[in-house]
Structure 1
């Protein structure tokens, strides 16, 4: 393992910071959506806003040399006119400097879903103006934090927040409109390219990439019908983000197919040139599961996400395209219906490397479970097993020539998990949300991960699944 390999863990601003209305921060779309619908929210979350020094020291003591974090647009920019919040800037500079003082490499995401409400009120990602507002916001980030950051990410998981917000309807703005999803997807990928453009034109140090919710696609068999369905699924799950960010072009067969049913007249030729000319330097892959695909059979499009656990169902059917299998008798699933499949990661890393030949990071990987955190130490052997097998899969891919630069466990500590609330725990460190000061206690996996890092991965139990 290269001595410069990043062994870290990851968080996101809305999911961990709390302090939702302190120090001149304005509302995000998530603040408004969760408050209006009386849903569990991230008002306090892990209170990283007041605990960041403690949390980063704990990360350092756990042997980690990298920290993935995101910046909150509503904490940095007060309004559509672009007024900068100096208190927000100071907060992030303190975090970044704290990282550097502890020899922790910050891996910084510019946008992790928390759009300012003042932009959501103009139509959010349906509004072309928001793409250019993002570019201005990104430039301010580069100017204010560029001396402290070498690794930048334009967006976290465009597929999830676009599909969940505009097609599935379980995230804000909670729409169910495929035409809107297409428009929002275009504007997000344009914004990403505009961010890359301003970064490269400004001559800022370091590199800039994108983080994708990676879903490698497998088929139930090798029939022609299944392979066609797999291509549809790959375009839906992966290609409209990765092809566009890495090669500068939306998949032509995807555009051709969409043009049969939807209005694509909003696509601007000059903006396609911007996308073509401003591709990323690296790829971050958030991996939780593959997608097992069978051909479409019948019925309307159905998209159901399990946000409750308890063995609830997931369902993905895209009419005329494909169906995703969630009842494979040979598979193991979490309470939230997520398949545990390390082989999918190994195969997927090879596919992405062979296709794009860009440096890769596993920017998120972890398992969410319900846990009793009142005990002295959470004995999360299931998390240790999960991480071991996925790190082993990554190392197998590296043995086969894949250029891996880092692994980030999700997450640094327990945090607010969007519509899953705080009961779905991913952290290496437990947080007791029922204690006044949100008591932190490292889990067994925290110490295991430290040993893995100190051994440079040599203590991983290597496995082959194929």
Structure 2
């Protein structure tokens, strides 16, 4: 027995994505996605001018990489299929090399006795579709629906759990309210249309899954960052409520309950940003809710009333004095948020089944902790422990959480940050390509074997 004991069927593992781990070879048949294109056009925007060409070289090395899953205690593993690998143009012919690759990868993971959790979309729209208008267009919903059905038909016999999208609010914010994803514009009305079209696409994929596979293992993966107000002041409390509506409930409510929060709809109408929609689409959303939820959490969102009331968003970030920071990444560490998430899902979302689909600690310059042939990442072990204590607390109070997946398996490439921040249980040596299990990877194996840990 250990101090913190999880339920007997609890699952332990990690998450990654195709575009961040696979890499690309000249003859693999993969088409460009938005990141391939952006790096080709503006490499200076990427940290150290490193793009997605190699990533973790999983495409080349998966046969020797997959055994590391067992060596680090995995009982579940989440990755994604690259739409631009499977259907290079997004709407054309299927790349049979991709079908063979994914089937072999999935078979090998299953042979290790590991639950396979596959996400359909991880910020990686095929560039051919982006050039036509991307998620702003209704036709992209149709192309995604076709892509999802092909995935279910080709891999449904191997995949245990599915997800429609990972963190769908991120491309909305980063692409249409910031400069961190393409198209890198500022246009709130287009942002709302993209968010709505993405939700419709998720509902169509969920419908296709239930029709073709008849199971109950379809999810969406949301970054449910709790919003904490600066004070009890009415304006600050309103800011936190609006932040929750826009950043969490905009996808959580329609995905789980089948309807949008009325306060959110009213705010969008007031701003004059209502998306183009049909009654049929709203019915699709209403009738095709998810079976369970994936939850990503890294840091809390602390907000205050905006100092400029004419700004677009009805809240702005607030840096709480004395907050505890990850000195290697610049993010706040606040494990109590996982408990708050657990209770929110239990009390307000029908106590839906869920898993922690991402949680982790990024570290810049992690090579400084290399000693005796291994990264000595005790800081990451402590991070895991603190978050697991809060998760365990929520489970004890009745929350239906069934697994904990960390980000990530092997150090991977990350969007504009490349390899700046490392998260892996397994180190990737960028010069030699060598893989080495970190101290946290060894600890994670014991965590999985004991189904818990000592404080």
Is residue 360 of structure 1 aligned with residue 365 of structure 2?
no
Q: 2:297 aligns with which of 287, 290, 295?
A: 287
Asked if structure 2 preserves the Cα contact closer than 8 Å seen for 1:334 and 1:340, the reply is no
Is residue 233 of structure 1 aligned with residue 230 of structure 2?
no
1:289 Cα shift? Answer: 1.0
Unaligned runs of 5+ in 2: 1-5
Is residue 183 of structure 1 aligned with residue 193 of structure 2?
yes
Is residue 130 of structure 1 aligned with residue 123 of structure 2?
no
Is residue 377 of structure 1 aligned with residue 374 of structure 2?
yes
Is residue 395 of structure 1 aligned with residue 400 of structure 2?
no
1:245 Cα shift? Answer: 0.6
Per the alignment, in what secondary structure is the counterpart of residue 361 of structure 1?
Answer: strand
Is residue 454 of structure 1 aligned with residue 449 of structure 2?
yes
Q: 1:342 aligns with which of 335, 339, 358?
A: 335
Asked if structure 1 preserves the Cα contact closer than 8 Å seen for 2:152 and 2:213, the reply is no
Change (3 A) 1:67 1:265: closer
Change (3 A) 1:299 1:460: farther
The TM-score normalised by the length of structure 2 is 0.94
Asked if structure 2 preserves the Cα contact closer than 8 Å seen for 1:142 and 1:204, the reply is no
The TM-score normalised by the length of structure 1 is 0.91
Distance 1:265 1:352 in 2: 28
Superposed CA RMSD in Å reads: 1.6
Q: Paired residue for 1:416?
A: 413
Q: Paired residue for 1:23?
A: 28
Is residue 215 of structure 1 aligned with residue 260 of structure 2?
no
Deviates more, 1:330-339 or 1:273-282: 330-339
Q: Paired residue for 2:3?
A: none
Q: Paired residue for 1:249?
A: 259
Distance 2:273 2:195 in 1: 14
Distance 1:18 1:71 in 2: 13
Deviates more, 1:172-181 or 1:144-153: 172-181
- 1:340-360: per-residue Cα shift (whole Å, max 9, x none)? 000111112211222112101
Is residue 4 of structure 1 aligned with residue 1 of structure 2?
no
Per the alignment, in what secondary structure is the counterpart of residue 284 of structure 1?
Answer: strand
Unaligned runs of 5+ in 1: 302-317, 462-466
Deviates more, 1:215-224 or 1:246-255: 215-224
Residues matched between the structures, number: 441
Per the alignment, in what secondary structure is the counterpart of residue 177 of structure 2?
Answer: helix
Distance 2:446 2:170 in 1: 33
Is residue 322 of structure 1 aligned with residue 315 of structure 2?
yes
1:263 Cα shift? Answer: 3.5
1:214 Cα shift? Answer: 1.6
Is residue 163 of structure 1 aligned with residue 156 of structure 2?
no
Is residue 60 of structure 1 aligned with residue 76 of structure 2?
no
1:329 Cα shift? Answer: 2.0
Change (3 A) 1:171 1:20: farther
Distance 1:22 1:392 in 2: 47
Distance 2:331 2:90 in 1: 39
Distance 1:20 1:460 in 2: 44
Per the alignment, in what secondary structure is the counterpart of residue 419 of structure 2?
Answer: coil
Deviates more, 1:134-143 or 1:55-64: 55-64
Q: More relative contact order in 1 or in 2 (CA 8 Å, sep 6+)?
A: 2
Distance 1:292 1:372 in 2: 31
- 1:385-410: per-residue Cα shift (whole Å, max 9, x none)? 10111111111111111111110010
Distance 1:81 1:112 in 2: 17
Q: Paired residue for 1:439?
A: 434
Distance 1:300 1:432 in 2: 48
Per the alignment, in what secondary structure is the counterpart of residue 372 of structure 1?
Answer: helix
1:80 Cα shift? Answer: 4.8
Deviates more, 1:324-333 or 1:122-131: 324-333
